[in-house]
Structure 1
Amino acid sequence: MKVAIPARSDFETARLGECRFVSPFRASRFIDTEKRLLFRSDLDELRAQLDADVEPPSFELAGPREKIYFDPAELRCGIVTCGGLCPGLNDVIRSIVFCLHENYGVPTVYGFRFGYEGLVERYALAPIELTPRRVGQIHEIGGTVLGSSRGPQPVDQMVDTLERLGIRLLFTIGGDGTLRGAHSIVQEIRRRELGIAIVGVPKTIDNDISFIDMSFGFDTAVEAARQATRAAYVEASCARSGIGLVKLMGRDSGFIASFATLADTQVGVCLIPEVSFSIDDVVRAAERRIERDGFVVIVVAEGAGQHLLAEITECDASGNRRYADIGIHLRDQVKDAFRSGGRSVNIKYIDPSYMIRSLPANARDGNFCLRLGHAAVHAGMAGKTDTVVGSWRRRLTHVPIPLAVSSPKKVDIGGYLWQTVLAVTGQDTDSVGGR
């Protein structure tokens, strides 16, 4: 699914005011605030916009500024992690703390415990003071040392806590629900006319936040998913008419499933939420692969095929509709379909979901987390607010939170990624291929 091109004004990053303090950050090069990164790089589109005298949409670049908004010596900061776990959360916390203390000389950084609940007084969750010594080794373990939770909390009470503790800069690490909560905090801050900045770091293992090409933890997740697909391959290839079925994360976007399929070309069928399919489609695709190779590996994203299941009306704490288990459904239905056709198959089902998201970040994600944490600090110190730091064509950018949460990012089934998946798996493009 292609993202609609927003207006130039939608990319403007909010800020608290004029930057009056000379930055203590000793950078070899500060960001030129006049330079921006184009949102689209297609030459024909750019020509059309320039011919129409329309300035092409572009991102503000992330990085250190020569002048900053806050006086570091008098600044108190906070960090909160929300939503589901994801590889790299501790890396981002550590990066932010080190950059604030060692590069800017900020004396006090609080970590709020168990998500937005830690900002509400009735939960009685005292914040933790974070120092470089305290966070020095946390990147070696998975999860978040601050804990996490889902769901909204009273915005007025959260801002009360920020005021009471003298927090002027809050970093929110989480997905679209966390970012929407951060935007609500910004709106309350504006209503009270307070000088508090809110900067987000995008955390989604599904990689489904728009206007950000890659979120931290995704690389680690794909690497771990590869272990599951390899196990499925071994199990399937060692059995007569073997089927290895792997369910991976991806509620509404099939990026993990797609990348994991490309990482291991033994996968014969890839099913994602963006492509509708029937059980008969899956069975036919599996039959063709079994006839050719003697076995098949099937990868399915957790949000795929929900139209085949009884709808669950209840929602989780974040307000997301709960999904039925497509993995179990596929396992049983495919086995029954083969049996009814007079043929038996040997199915091995693997669901590594929680094992994947609880891992520590790999080296590439660890590097990325450090850069994102530093970029978030630079943005906050410059008084940027209601913004999330992200990556676009390997450059770090500022993305206004309303733009980032405007719609979920999905796999473009006409794009290069999905077409490569089809080429690798040999799926029938008239059924499970998505045409």
Structure 2
Amino acid sequence: MTESLADAITAAGSAVNYLRNAPVKPTVFPVQPEFTNWRSEQKSWRTSVALLDQSHHMTDLFITGPDALKLLSDVGVNSFSSFAVDRAKQFIAVNHEGYLIGDAILFHLEENSFDLVGWHMVLDWVQYHGEKGEYDVSFERDASSAVRQGDPKQYRFEIQGPKALELMEKATGQPVPETKFFRMATFEIDGVTVRSLRHGMAGQPGFELFGPWADGERVRSALLAAGEGLDLVQVGSKAYSSSNLESAWVPSPFPAIFSGEGTQEYREWLPASRAGSLAGSLQSERVEDYYLTPYDLGYGRSVSFDHEFIGRAALERHAAEQRRQKVTLVWEPEDVAAALRSQFEPGVPAKYIDLPKARYGQYQVDRVLVDGKDVGISHDAGYITNEQAFVSLASLENEFASPGTTVTVLWGEEPNSTKPSVEAHRQVSIRATVEPAPYSAFARENYRKN
């Protein structure tokens, strides 16, 4: 019998204790790590064109039925007043207290037919409410290749970079019709019908292509052939996993499912295996200290109070009192180098800093301080070749969120947890400078304005 999250937390004594010591292996993207090297692959989406395979690491939740849109509207904070077929949006959900559950990309495929794609946290929340509520809907879940048996239902390829449009025109043999951001279009590539989302990743222009799995290799081969002469670069999982640092998207924020109205029943429904793991220097037995609002992550413009949804009243209160904002922290090179150098010195070293992505739990939550006072939390951290900088995404109190502000990131756990990804280490303080999010000027001036 599958253990529920509620039972696992009871056995561990608390939600924080369970998550901090979760016996789960480090997240591994089930895609080739590198085709050349991750530094060159990171550069490709800035200088030429990158081809990324997204077919394996995300979960698809297909939602169909007469009440599919009603369910999404009841759970999501977004407006659905003009959400027509062939459109997509960043779907966001909160709990009854207005704290973030998670986000994913929602595709409106056909009338009464949707595909919610991304990390499973928000997908689970939607499916739970669809099954427990009085909705005429059905669900089909296609989990990531890390846990699924057999092939995916769909292939999903990302084309990104300044030559993305040229690549698409060579692959389709015709001019690409102008498609607005987050709108879909249909193309023919090597005789195969391909659906496309006009998208951006790492702040660069591009397309997300998808279709039946059986067509995937044919489409990939056609893209590779069209990429000859365009410096097309296949990107592996190492570089891909770090791309969010340039676009300033936090992929796995801590989900507010461990307390609050209705969450006990949800935890009884949710398998413990999908709970995730908690890493970082923030140590608190009060699980609410890890929660975020959509405004902490810059999602305010996606919130719409034009309909009733779970958490609306509480979210309106958060909207009136936005205390934090999302920023980029550029870590001091000398301090990063000192932490890395500790691996070669006597004594207990600093927590290992992996490259290009340094996250060592599904939910990375590190303390950010100014003069010893906590002023926010740091999320994903890693290296951006295109900026030659080690950075993290953070949510800081407004008073300390101005570019140029000097802060300190506390890196490592004290005491050390028992997660498989954690070795014996000591905490270290790393100075950092607050910069805008996204950090890349191109991403701020082009991607975010859409």
Greater helix proportion: 1
Tell me which structure has the larger Cα radius of gyration: 1
Q: What is the TM-score normalised by the length of structure 2? A: 0.23
Q: What is the TM-score normalised by the length of structure 1? A: 0.24
